[in-house]
Amino acid sequence: MKLGRQKAEGRRQKAMRRVAWLGIRALCSSPLVACAQTTNDIPPLRPPHAEIPPTFWEQHTMGVIVVGMAVLAFAGFAVWLALRPKWPVVILPEVQARGELESLRILPEDGAVLSKVSQAVRRYFGAAFALTPGELTTTEFCRAIAKNDQIGSDLSATTGDFLRRCDERKFAPDSPPEATGAAEHALKLVEQAETRREQLRRAAQAKPESIAKT
């Protein structure tokens, strides 16, 4: 009896070891084990990257600085030009007088128009022949141009007579406007004065030449 039990126990243990061995083999051949083994392997290395090129700032540092300074200088110059005081526009006296008188030719010659014509003539002679500035009456102005040698006696007399006639018509009571051509006559006075100024310029240029010849 005892011997039979021992043999049966031996066969049972042997069968259990065989089952355990089969289980271990099945476990080792399962996908989980294969996956775990694969993850433990060293992955293949990628090829090395190329050398990192220099940045735009590293390549063009000096160029960017020079261009930036040039732009700032140009902007500062533009601001200076915009904010600097502007030179007054100089209008030649003959150009200003002709413009004023041309605009007055088409208007009726009432007292206001005659006053503007007279003022335009006075301003022109004062600027063209460097008369003493100031508000002068017609008598005082005629006396001043008569004493000016550059204007000459003929032109000063004609101009004084014209200004006095303008005053007579301007201050005449109930004087209806008449087309006497005051603005037209004033334009002729300007042309005569410009001819006189041209003669004076030529005479001034001829003096150094005559002195040099002597």
23-48 residue pLDDT tens: 666 555 555 444 444 555 666 777 77
Contacts of 157 (CB under 8 A, 6+ apart): 146
d(CA 108, CA 176): 10
Mean of pLDDT values over 115-137? 91
Residue 195 lies in a domain: yes
Side chain identity at 115, as an amino acid letter? S
Residue 182 lies in a domain: yes
Specify the higher pLDDT residue, 8 or 124. Answer: 124
Domains of the chain: total:
1
d(CA 170, CA 168): 5
Residue 15 lies in a domain: no
Domain range spanning residue 102?
A: 95-213
Residue 134 lies in a domain: yes
Q: Could you read off the pLDDT of 171-211 as tens digits, one per residue?
A: 776 555 555 689 999 999 999 999 999 999 998 888 766 55
Residue 132 lies in a domain: yes
Cα 180 → chain centroid: 49
Residue 175 lies in a domain: yes
Residue 80 lies in a domain: no
d(CA 182, CA 163): 10
Which pTM does this prediction carry? 0.58
Residue 48 lies in a domain: no
Indicate the burial class of 133 (C-beta count within 10 angstroms; 0-12, 13-18, 19 or more): exposed
